Every structure is written in structure tokens, then in C-alpha cells.
Copies of this chain bind each other. A is one copy, B any other.
Amino acid sequence: MAKYLTSRAENYSQWYNDLVVKAGLAEGAAVRGCMVIKPYGYAIWEKMQQQLDKMFKETGHVNAYFPLLIPKSFFSKEADHVEGFAKECAVVTHYRLKNDPDGNGVVVDPEAKLEEEYIIRPTSETIIWNTYKGWIQSYRDLPILCNQWANVVRWEMRTRMFLRTAEFLWQEGHTAHATKEEALEEANKMVRVYAEFAEKWMAMPVIMGHKSETERFAGALDTLTIEAMMQDGKALQAGTSHFLGQNFAKAFDVMFATKEGKQEYVWATSWGVSTRLMGALIMAHSDDNGLVLPPKLAPLQVVIVPIYKGVEGLERIRETVKPLMETLRRMGITVKFDDRDTQKPGWKFADYELKGVPVRLAMGERDLANGTVEVARRDTLTKETLPLAGVEQHIEKLLEEMQENIYKLALERRNKLITKVDSYDEFKELIETKGGFFLCHWDGTPETEARIKEETKATIRCIPFDSPEEEGKCMVTGRPSHRRVLIARAY
């Protein structure tokens, strides 16, 4: 192995950290709780962005950009929102430094104190609804379907790369509608866009559902979520879509004239996914050899490693694979010929495994003589020797097959770890011994929810869309329940 990775069985959490750093995805920064997203990690994020952006545009959304800094007073305008967001945040109080009179570098200039402090956006509802006030007069101005790609800062106490960092990258959609029905439909549409992206692109099955009241976004009337299962059986909330009712319209006094000439408050949604998806992607599929990337999100899909003696040998291989590379590129497949002479083929094999490159081709002297090439696939770690002629069709099919296979494996793994439980004792035992997702009856009260969390560290992940009506008794209190909810420990 090029770089030793802790195994998942040994220490799952250490495996994750090792993998993030050793595969060159990200590293801790000199700033508390922040990370540097390294080029390989950023290339995966870019592929995610491109696809999501395309899906947003196909559903009628446009991009815009709103200020990073938000006046402190804006946060006080929506009562729930201030509780949820204004507390742990980065506060800008001054606008100038000056030379230290004692000669020790620079110090904050006390003369340059802001009259009103600014908060670095933890989310942008307030500044955006303050702006929408100027954009909306009549029903003709609606709907507004804006999305923003941006960085946000939340002063988290315990951070982990990609999963929870003080600064992270995300997109936040903010829409304005004339009717409640239209806003509800939008919130619903966008959680389904997220689910489609997770399943079709990230090859990661998700469960869609409503958050419980306690777990809702601060200021929302309903929060829809997609919940994915990581390989250790824990849940990861991968994206949320909020129906905000008229809360922000009321807080920022945004009204519109209806067709009938009445003045009404505007209805709102917001929805977002973040670089947290990188953490989900890594933990959903990867193995003890490194990353496993679904081909659709792999920055490099095919790598060719020559096994040669001398410059002449290398050139013969280069010439032989040149037409193949051209064909693959025409087919829209990314391919690289790794001709570095600073590393041995074995080292390269391990390194590309670590980085999760889906298909690795190797070509040596014998292949040259026989007109063959060795094709290795990253997901199953299997390899076969095939005729070079026509291998491009094989590779194209293989990439599709791998995309499906990675999804199938994740789905099987997850479904094995979904358990219906009716007794709280059984639940408490199984959450320790088996883990995974649990479908249980719950009486719908925040008190019971809090008790479960306190006693088991598990939370209600969602009330799944597809949870059928079923009469039952809350596993904790025995009170009546009409459907099962999804409970798990979570990231």
C-alpha cells in the first residue's frame, strides 16, 4: 500500500479521517474548525455542483448572490430563527487594523468600531427576505426562484472535516410564492431533486420524510429531509427543504397585491445541501483500500498505468493506447496516462485505489505482444485481461455497471440494517448491538423524543413519506401512534 489506512473495523472514525487526508480530499486549516478543500476533493465537489446546478436550472431556478455580512438586528426579526442561528456565529465588530504602538505587528483599531455589528451569514433567509421586499409588489412578481452558491459560517464546537466545519460551502435556494400550496409544492419538489441526485449521482439510497417539530429548521413550519445510512449504521442528514410559511414575509414585511387587489403576505421555502455531501459520499461507499467513487462523480474515470522497461518501452505503450484515449475522450470519459517515472507501477495501483479511480488499465510487454490490456475495477477490486480492440465499449458499459453496483451494494447494506421494533427495551439493546435504522411507533410528543435521545443518543430522523398508516403504540409510553417513524444515531 502506498499509504496506510486504518481499517473500518479497527476504528471507523479514524478510517474516515485518514481517508480524507490521505486521498488528498481535505485537511485541517490554521483557522479553528475550518478546513482546506484540496484540489482532488474540490474536483469531486465541482462535479456535484455542476449536476445540482443543472437540476436547479431545469426546475426553473436562477442563481444570484447576496451579501456575506448580515446586520445583527436582522436576526432579531424572526423569533425562532434568532434562537437557532444567531447564537454561535462569527461577529464582525471592527473595520480596521493599525500598527501596534509597541511594535508587535498589527492590532485592532479601537477607533474603527462598527455602530452595528455584522454577522457572517450562517444562512441567508434574513438578508434575502429583506431584499425580496424591494422585488415584490404584485402577484406578477411571483414566484421568485433564486439559488445561491456560497460559503457560510457557524461556530460549531466539535468539528469534523466535511461533516461539520465552522465554514462550509453550500447552496441555498430561497423561493417566494403567492400561495401556500405553491410553496408546499416547491419544498416537496426540491427534496425530491435532492433524493434523485443522491440516488442517481452519488449512488446513495436515501429515505425522504418530514422532520419532527424539534428537529425543524429554525423558522420553518415543516422541514423535509433526505436521510442516508453510513457504513457504520449511523444516519446522515444529507439535504433539507423547508416550508417557511409566511414567517419571513411577516418578519420583513413582504406583501403582494393579489389578482383581486388584496394585500397578502408572501409564502416562502428554502432548501440546501452542502460540502457535507462529500462526507456522505466518502462514508457511504469507501473501503479499507480507500475511496470508492461512483463513476458519475469521479473527476478521473479511467487511468492507464504503463509497465515498461526503458524509454522505448514506454513510448511503444504510449503509442498503442493513444487511439484508445482519444476514443474514450470523444465518448465523454475522462482518462489519464500516468507516465511518471518517479513511482513504480505497484505504488501507482495502490494510489489510484486510494483515490477511488473507477477503472484502472495496465499495459505491459506481454499485453503489447498479445494486443491485450488489463482492466481492473475499483468497486469489486477484480481484474481481467481483455483484447485492446473494442475495450472502449467494455469500459463504457463497465462504468454504468459500477454506478449501479455501488448503489445496489449501499442499498443492500442499508436494508439489512433497517429494523422494525416495538419494544423500547429491544430498541435499547439493538441500537447498541446491531445499529442502523429503526422503524418504531412514537407518540408524537417532544418529551418522548427528548427521552429517547437522552437515553439512547438516537434521534427521530424523519417521518418517512412512504410510512404507511398503521395503528400502534409508542414504544416508550404506550400511547397511540398512527405510523412508524425512522430513528437512528446520526452524524
Contact = CB atoms under 8 A, between A and B. Distances in A.
A383 interface: no
Nearest to A152: B68
Interface in A98-136: 98, 105-106, 108, 117-120, 127, 130-131, 134
Nearest to A31: B67
A39 B67 contact: no
Contacts of A65: 36-37, 42, 169
A52 interface: no
A67 B98 contact: no
Interface in A65-82: 65-76, 82
A29 B120 contact: no
20 contacts: A27-B134, A30-B71, A30-B127, A31-B69, A31-B70, A31-B71, A38-B64, A39-B146, A42-B63, A43-B63, A69-B90, A72-B105, A72-B106, A76-B105, A89-B96, A90-B92, A91-B94, A91-B95, A91-B96, A97-B119
Interface of A: 27, 29-31, 34-39, 42-43, 46, 62-76, 82, 86-98, 105-106, 108, 117-120, 127, 130-131, 134, 140, 146, 150-151, 153, 155, 167, 169, 342
A324 B71 CA distance: 49
A39 B106 CA distance: 39
B69 A342 contact: no
Contacts of A119: 97
Q: 4 closest A-B pairs (Cβ-Cβ)?
A: A76-B105, A39-B62, A37-B65, A91-B94
B117 A108 contact: yes
Among A35, A70, A105: residue with most chain B CB under 10 A: A105
Given A30-B127, A36-B131, A97 B91 contact: yes
Contacts of A95: 88-91, 155
A170 to B, nearest CB: 12
Contact of A68 (B89, B94, B98, B153): B153
Contacts of A36: 64-67, 131
Contacts of A31: 67, 69-71, 118, 127
Contact of A72 (B70, B97, B167): B97
Nearest to A69: B31
Nearest to A115: B32
A43 B117 CA distance: 31
Given A39-B63, A140-B342, A151-B151, 6 more contacts: A29-B66, A30-B71, A34-B67, A36-B65, A86-B97, A92-B92
A72 B99 CA distance: 12
Contact of A131 (B30, B90, B117): B30
A106 B86 contact: yes
Contacts of A87: 96-98
A264 B27 CA distance: 25
Contacts of A153: 68-69
Among A65, A117, A130, A167: residue with most chain B CB under 10 A: A65
Contact of A92 (B43, B67, B82, B120): B120
Contacts of A68: 34, 120, 151, 153, 167
Nearest to A34: B67
A333 B127 CA distance: 35
A70 to B, nearest CB: 7
A42 B65 CA distance: 7
Nearest to A105: B76
A38 B134 CA distance: 12
Nearest to A94: B91
Nearest to A26: B65
Contacts of A151: 68, 150-151
A154 to B, nearest CB: 10
Contacts of A66: 29, 36
B63 A131 contact: no
A150 to B, nearest CB: 8
Contacts of A39: 62-64, 146
Contacts of A34: 67-69
Among A37, A42, A106, A167: residue with most chain B CB under 10 A: A106
A34 B68 CA distance: 9
Contacts of A118: 31, 90
A118 to B, nearest CB: 7
Nearest to A39: B62
Nearest to A118: B31
Nearest to A275: B65
Contacts of A86: 97, 106
Nearest to A77: B105
